[in-house]
């Protein structure tokens, strides 16, 4: 496990408590997300314009005026959520409000890398657009499914996955979100079988509305091409530690980070372990930056009952201004 080194010079002023910025990924989207800060801040409108030029998608039209069925297409959704995440981040950065440590859930990890200084804005947008395009392509080749299993520990779910997988049956763990919330991914029949076995043990199972089997072998065909594309981006040494999905650990080596991000496409998201890693380093302020409240919801289920912390959501103009008042 790598040692996390904090730079106290960039800490927020909230009683000098260690602060983590957390960035959501797919599943947090909504039509109109980010529209209020888009209207309130001219630099954000200019950022949307720049992002639209980079990825050749009219992002304001897609996000503010579009249909949900268009927004949730992976090739559209990944840059859409990322540009909203980065818009809130930009306002905070302009006010010199920065984290001590950061992480992002799946797609959100690219926003975290930007927050850390490991990626430029332009490279972040190019990477998430390419990632979404390749994932969409692979999802059209092989139908996939994902189910949330609630009420069983990771070891039990893994045991059921191991029992069903093999002989061409593709199913695996996609996300270890909390101690008792595990998402499985793979081909529809094996995923359904594992869900059925989990239900027999008293778990609640929820089919997720997704267009592909993310973080599974079914999108392995995108990994090599995406790995090559990652070489076109410049990865710098992070100024702020990033806890990575694949390892639940940090890295200061740009080449290692590039490799981790290539692996992230098909590897499980170790979100539970990542948040526990933050508690081990006494993080007390957790700030979810971007649409929705998914990550703060998970946090309440992850952190021990006696762990003292503050959770903030920066997901609209009102909450953004409220958070800025708390830390300045």
Residues belonging to the active site: 106, 215
- Cβ atoms of residues 286 and 313 within 8 Å: no
Q: Is 174 within 8 Å of 268 (Cβ atoms)? A: yes
The pair of structure tokens assigned to 17 is: 């408590």
Helix axes 74-94, 121-141, angle to 10 degrees: 160
**Between the CA of residue 155 and those of 12, 166, 182, 273, 278, what are the distances in Å?**
38, 18, 10, 14, 22
Element housing 148 (H / E): strand 145-150
How many angstroms separate the first and last alpha carbons of the chain?
A: 34
* Whether the Cβ atoms of residue 93 and residue 10 lie closer than 8 Å to each other: no
Strand partners, 104: 23
3-class SS of residue 159: helix
User: Which phi and psi angles does 98 have, rounded to 5°?
Assistant: -130, 155
């Amino acid at each position: 496990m790598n040692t996390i080194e904090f730079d106290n010079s960039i800490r927020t002023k909230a009683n000098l408590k260690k602060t983590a910025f957390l960035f959501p990924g797919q599943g947090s989207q909504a039509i109109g997300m980010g529209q209020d800060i888009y209207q309130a801040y001219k630099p954000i409108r200019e950022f949307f314009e720049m992002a639209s030029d980079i990825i050749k998608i009219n992002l304001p039209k897609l996000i503010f005026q579009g249909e949900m069925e268009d927004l949730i297409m992976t090739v559209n959704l990944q840059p859409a959520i990322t540009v909203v995440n980065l818009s809130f981040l930009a306002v905070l950065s302009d006010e010199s409000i920065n984290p001590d440590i950061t992480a992002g859930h799946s797609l959100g990890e690219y926003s975290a890398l930007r927050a850390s200084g490991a990626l430029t804005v332009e490279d972040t947008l190019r990477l998430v657009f390419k990632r979404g395009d390749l994932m969409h392509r692979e999802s059209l080749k092989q139908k996939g499914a994902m189910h949330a299993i609630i009420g069983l520990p990771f070891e039990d779910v893994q045991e059921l996955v191991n029992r069903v997988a093999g002989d061409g049956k593709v199913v695996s763990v996609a996300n270890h979100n909390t101690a008792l919330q595990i998402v499985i991914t793979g081909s529809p029949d094996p995923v359904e079988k594992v869900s059925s076995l989990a239900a027999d043990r008293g778990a609640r199972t929820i089919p997720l509305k997704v267009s592909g089997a993310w973080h599974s072998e079914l999108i392995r065909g995108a990994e090599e091409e995406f790995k090559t594309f990652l070489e076109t981006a410049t990865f710098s040494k992070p100024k702020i530690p990033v806890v990575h999905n694949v390892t639940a650990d940090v890295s200061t080596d740009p080449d290692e980070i590039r490799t981790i991000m290539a692996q992230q496409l098909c590897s499980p998201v170790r979100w539970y372990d990542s948040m526990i890693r933050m508690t081990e380093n006494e993080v007390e302020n957790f700030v979810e930056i971007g649409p929705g409240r998914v990550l703060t919801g998970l946090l309440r289920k992850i952190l021990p009952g006696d762990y003292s912390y503050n959770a903030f959501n920066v997901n609209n103009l009102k909450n953004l201004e409220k958070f800025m008042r708390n830390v300045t």
